[in-house]
A = this chain, B = another copy of it.
Amino acid sequence: MSADERDGAPKRGRPRDATAEAAILRAFFEVVAEQGYPAATMDAVAERAGVAKTTIYRRWASRDALMIAAHGLLTDENPPPDTGTLRGDLLGIASLLIENLGRPPLSLVAAATIGEMAHNPDLAALFRAAVVEQRLAMLTEIFERAVARGEIAPGEDWRLLSEMLVGAVMFRVVVTGERVDARVGATLVVALLRAIAPHVDLTRPLGGADDLLAE
A residues contacting B by CB (< 8 A) are 33-39, 108, 111-119, 124, 128, 132, 136, 153, 155-157, 160-161, 163-172, 174-177, 184, 187-188, 191-192, 194-196, 198, 202-203, 205-207
Known: A114-B114, A132-B175. 13 other contacts (CB 8 A): A36-B118, A37-B115, A114-B115, A117-B175, A118-B174, A128-B176, A155-B205, A160-B184, A163-B168, A164-B164, A164-B165, A164-B188, A166-B167
7 contacts between A and B (CB under 8 A): A108-B118, A111-B114, A136-B176, A163-B176, A164-B165, A167-B167, A167-B170
Do residues A116 and B198 form an inter-chain contact, with CB atoms below 8 A? no
Do residues B205 and A195 form an inter-chain contact, with CB atoms below 8 A? no
With beta carbons under 8 angstroms apart, the residue of B108, B119, B184, B203 that contacts A119 is: B108
With beta carbons under 8 angstroms apart, the residue of B38, B116, B161 that contacts A191 is: B161
With beta carbons under 8 angstroms apart, the residue of B113, B132, B206 that contacts A157 is: B206
Do residues A191 and B164 form an inter-chain contact, with CB atoms below 8 A? yes
Do residues A198 and B202 form an inter-chain contact, with CB atoms below 8 A? yes
